[in-house]
């Protein structure tokens, strides 16, 4: 991948951004062209031809959420307070999701989610979809590509090639960070869209489940938008902390400045 990155000092565009466009523009066109939008007022979700696969896909998703994703996202939220808090929680949670039997199970479940999700996406392209169906499909495709990229980064690049701990510092491109390296800036939309896409996918999926249990359309829609909004707030909080803005550091900085305003220069250089 690094071979496609142009030297930023030459003024040429960064190859990662070109690759981003070459990947997502065609997928967006395929998703929009393959699904005809209709008003989101139908009381029953469109019936696809593989209900068994959708059921197993959902069960697998719930298992991943309970064992890994919910604790993992909660762990990332603690970084808004401080990196130390994040690291402390992470070391505790790793005893669970990195256990000898649990980690291989999670990898298998993620691979199944990607494979089954791509199959369901292909099927979805053959039927009409409302706004929620289109959002769910687009978010699912993003998650599939993100998960492949993320697992390669963690298991291959981090653990095998670089042989480093794939912790918060690894994810945020230490020591430069996300904001101080042109190559790392691309990770800001990469991470934030992944978290938001997860909640979009879950919210739209929840709406389908609610409609199938005869919940009113207005209530189902409100539930979906609530999950989507929650995901946006969580994604924003996580990415702000990954850009090295932490409440504890901000509070301590303000306290130091209140005692000696002359420190504003050195403090502003902190990361």
pLDDT digits (tens, 9 = 90+) for 43-96: 444 555 578 898 999 999 999 999 999 999 999 999 999 999 999 999 999 999
The angle formed by the CA atoms of residues 68, 235 and 60, to the nearest 5 degrees, is: 30
The per-residue pLDDT for range 249-270, each reduced to its tens digit, is: 666 666 665 656 555 554 444 4
Confidence of residue 178 (pLDDT cuts 50, 70, 90): very high
Token representation of residue 15: 């190859």
Please tell me whether the peptide bond between 175 and the residue prior to it is cis, using omega within 30 degrees of 0.
yes
Name the band, by pLDDT with cuts 50, 70 and 90, for residue 121.
confident
pLDDT in tens, 181-191: 888 998 999 99
Report which of residues 48 and 28 the model is more confident about.
28
Q: Closest by alpha carbon to 72, among 106, 117, 113, 104?
A: 106
Q: Which residues contact 61 (CB under 8 A, 6 or more apart)?
A: 113, 202, 205
Q: What is the pTM of this model?
A: 0.77
Report the alpha-carbon distance of residue 100 to residue 47 in Å, rounded: 39
The whole-number average pLDDT for the span 215-219 is 95
Q: What's residue 260's pLDDT?
A: 60
């Amino acid at each position: 991948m690094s071979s496609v990155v142009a030297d930023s000092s030459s003024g040429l565009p960064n190859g990662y951004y070109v690759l981003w466009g070459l990947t997502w523009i065609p997928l967006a066109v395929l998703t929009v062209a393959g699904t005809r939008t209709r008003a989101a007022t139908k009381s029953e979700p469109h019936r696809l031809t593989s209900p068994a696969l959708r059921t197993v896909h959902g069960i697998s998703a719930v298992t991943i959420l309970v064992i890994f994703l919910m604790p993992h996202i909660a762990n990332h939220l603690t970084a808004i307070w401080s990196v130390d808090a994040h690291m402390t929680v992470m070391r505790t949670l790793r005893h669970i999701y990195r256990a000898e039997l649990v980690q291989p199970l999670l990898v298998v479940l993620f691979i199944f989610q990607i494979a089954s999700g791509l199959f369901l996406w292909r099927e979805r392209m053959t039927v009409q979809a409302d706004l929620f169906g289109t959002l769910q499909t687009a978010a699912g495709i993003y998650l599939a590509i993100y998960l492949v990229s993320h697992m390669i980064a963690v298991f291959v690049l981090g653990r095998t090639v670089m042989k480093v701990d794939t912790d918060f510092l690894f994810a945020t491109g230490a020591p430069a960070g996300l904001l101080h390296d042109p190559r790392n800036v691309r990770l800001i939309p990469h991470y934030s869209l992944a978290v938001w896409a997860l909640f979009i996918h879950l919210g739209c999926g929840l709406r389908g489940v609610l409609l199938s249990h005869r919940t009113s359309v207005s209530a189902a829609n409100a539930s979906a938008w609530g999950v989507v909004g929650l995901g946006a707030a969580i994604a924003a909080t996580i990415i702000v902390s990954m850009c090295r803005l932490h409440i504890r550091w901000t509070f301590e900085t303000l306290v130091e400045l209140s005692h000696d305003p002359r420190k504003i220069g050195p403090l502003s250089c902190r990361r």
